[in-house]
């Protein structure tokens, strides 16, 4: 089964930076239209931290029903209200040195295959762009990336719902800008799309089996 992405547009200017190649097939809808949209045709819902999280909280049942239909939810951002199934609120990291922002691959995973830790941590020698805190993970979640102290910044949750939830405490993993900045982080967006296709196939296969 083909993955069909739907993305909630939060309306903020930094979230309007044009479609890059990775998200060219995404259906982009205004967040405040969420309750008027028939989500049947879509199987991957993409939400960012720019989104109105009070609104998402009010409409959390729509989101829960979506994932429970054996679908995928991807959230990149800081969670500040309790709308995300299995999610816990963002905890900022106490920063004493630029090294506190160093990203580690906790477990090799196809989404981050060939991506160098330093390319995630540093931008022109400056750290702190990737993630500045974390969300405590639900029991049984698969942790992909961490900050020092085994702080989980990116995880996959197949436990809290009948579907799959990917949570990343940082900027949009699909990338808003042109992805081609000639670093290994360019690989993340396309590899994430590929993973979604495989995950959808797996979720659907479990239904038919």
Partner 1 sequence: MMKKIAVVYGGSSHHHRTYKTSEFAKYINRLIPIRELETASLEGVDVLLVPSQTHLGLLKKNVEKIYAFANGGGTVVTLGPQGFDWLPSHKWEFRPTNFWWWLDKDPKSGLVLSAPEHDLFKNYLTLSDATWHQHGVYWPPDNCEVLVSTDDGGAVLYIDKVSTKGTWLNTTLDPDFHYGSYFMPATERFLRGFLPWLVEGKL
Q: Which residues bind partner 1 (CB under 8 A)?
A: 10-16, 30, 32, 49-55, 77-81, 90, 92, 124-126, 128, 132-133
Work out how close the CB of 55 gets to partner 1 at its nearest, in angstroms, rounded to a whole number. Answer: 6
Between 98 and 198, CB nearer to partner 1: 98
What is the spatial distance between Cα 62 and Cα 57, in angstroms, rounded to a whole number? Answer: 10
Strands 5-9 and 44-48: parallel
Work out how close the CB of 23 gets to partner 1 at its nearest, in angstroms, rounded to a whole number. Answer: 19
Work out how close the CB of 50 gets to partner 1 at its nearest, in angstroms, rounded to a whole number. Answer: 5
Between 11 and 136, CB nearer to partner 1: 11
Buried b / exposed e across 23-58, counting CB within 10 Å, b at 16+?
Answer: beebeebebeebeeeebeebbbbbbbbbbbbebbee
105: left (phi over 0), alpha (psi -120 to 50) or beta: beta
Between 78 and 191, CB nearer to partner 1: 78
Between 124 and 209, CB nearer to partner 1: 124
């Amino acid at each position: 089964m083909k993955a069909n992405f739907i993305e909630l547009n939060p309306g903020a200017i930094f979230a309007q930076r044009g479609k890059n190649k990775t998200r060219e097939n995404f259906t982009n809808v205004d967040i405040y239209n969420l309750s008027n949209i028939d989500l049947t045709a879509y199987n991957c819902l993409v939400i960012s931290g720019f989104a109105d999280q009070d609104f998402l909280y009010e409409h959390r049942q729509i989101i829960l029903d979506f994932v429970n239909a054996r679908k995928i939810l991807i959230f990149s951002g800081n969670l500040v209200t309790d709308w995300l199934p299995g999610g816990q609120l963002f905890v900022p990291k106490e920063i004493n040195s630029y090294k506190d922002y160093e990203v580690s691959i906790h477990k090799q995973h196809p989404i981050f295959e060939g991506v160098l830790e330093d390319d995630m941590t540093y931008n022109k020698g400056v750290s702190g762009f990737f993630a500045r805190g974390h969300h405590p993970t639900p029991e049984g979640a698969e942790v992909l990336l961490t900050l020092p102290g085994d702080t989980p910044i990116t995880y996959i949750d197949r436990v809290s719902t009948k579907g799959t939830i990917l949570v990343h405490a940082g900027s949009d993993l699909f990338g808003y800008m042109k992805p081609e900045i000639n670093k290994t982080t360019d690989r993340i967006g396309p590899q994430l799309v590929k993973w979604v296709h495989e995950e959808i196939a797996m979720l659907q296969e479990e239904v038919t089996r």
